[in-house]
Structure 1
């Protein structure tokens, strides 16, 4: 038996009472677990199955190569993000996002820390925190734009130039990118409400260029609605 702390990224009901969980753990990175009996009538822990919930998993050691089984799970942090419509929408989008891009990620303390940090920001009603968070992930992955004197971000090369190369990356949007990348406290940067939709679009374009096999999360349409 071993114990893991991790963030729940997604889960799928399996049969009548069981579930398969995709998680990003502190010690082993991305993991897939089998959870037996979570959907039985009297199991109150089914309420723990919320995206980005930080949980402690007791893992039963099984045969090599087989899916690990959870024998018990406990919640580590209680947040209000699930009762706040805007925050809840952001959580579902980011968990959808991370479930895709962290599939091949091994132990990475920096990623684990920034997820924790992001949840705290969102819990404090920073409704632009996901925009900052996604750029922080790019920095950890080593594919964030390189800073230089240009005023226009070229999303394909990841450099700033003196001429615009993409419709979304005008001087204002490019300046947001540069400010966040260069700031010692990125969450202190403010993105005007009217610009958050197009700024998120610019982030997705950048991910398409720099993250292999990246696909726009299915929940994009839902999160875009909170910026209308």
Structure 2
């Protein structure tokens, strides 16, 4: 069955000498993995490999068969041409980091048009901005809406947030309760938008501490989630 769908590249891995395995989040079928056979054999195919950069937005025509674990791509086009996401060093480090987060978080093969729209819009916003130092923090927090563990804000005035329970509490019941600067930043981000991020002034240490808190939040709620291998590089480059 031929399917035309937009897709966002989550990971890529060279297989044998000439093949490439690519994992994408698609608008029609959720997470789908593809094998691109022989793409390193000639210059024409190698040009197509360049389309599959991390978090590239593509339009694919897929020969889709439910029984296959690796699907076949019949045609690839860029649906969005980024102006800076793959050429700016700092944005490139964000791309590497977030692609790992998404590849680890998005496991199920099911359609979620709202999630796809969020990813598409957020990446376009990042591509267009010059001030984006806090982007990844709000990106991850907003992502939890679509993964099922967005913080319960009913008691947002309480002095603690329980990462394990995903709610605000009056007391610190266990080691997963946060307070202080992390709590203040969480409350601030819960009430903001990407366009207002430049108004949030935090230093690199606060940013890194909160990022670690968000990654712990993901680990507590997603059994398959693993801390990105690129985290240390990301922290060195970005902070």
TM-score by length of 2: 0.86
Match of 2:231 in 1: 220
CA displacement at 1:20 relative to structure 2: 1.3
Distance in 2 (alpha carbons) for counterparts of 1:130 and 1:60: 34
Number of aligned positions between the proteins: 226
CA distance in 2, matches of 1:166, 1:187: 34
CA distance in 2, matches of 1:105, 1:150: 37
Kindly provide the CA deviation profile for residues 96-118 of structure 1, in whole angstroms up to 9, marking residues without a partner as x. 11111101151111211111122
Report the TM-score, using the length of structure 1 for normalisation: 0.90
- 1:70 is matched with which residue? 73
Unaligned runs of 5+ in 1: none
| Residue 160 of structure 2: aligned partner | 152
Q: Counterpart of 2:62?
A: 59
1:2-36, Cα deviation, whole Å (9 max, x unpaired): 21210011111122222111000011100011212
For structure 2, list consecutive stretches of 5 or more residues without a partner in the other structure.
Answer: none
Alpha-carbon spacing, 1:141–1:156, altered in 2? closer, same or farther (3 Å): same
Q: CA deviation at 1:59?
A: 1.3
Question: Which of residues 112, 117, 130 is equivalent to 1:113?
Answer: 117
Check if 1:140 corresponds to 2:141: no
Q: Structure 1 70/105 Cα, relative in aligned 2: closer, same or farther at 3 Å?
A: closer
Q: CA RMSD in A?
A: 2.0
Distance 1:179 1:163 in 2: 20
Bigger CA drift: 130-139 or 104-113?
A: 104-113
d(CA) in 1 for partners of 2:162, 2:25: 31
Q: CA deviation at 1:61?
A: 4.4
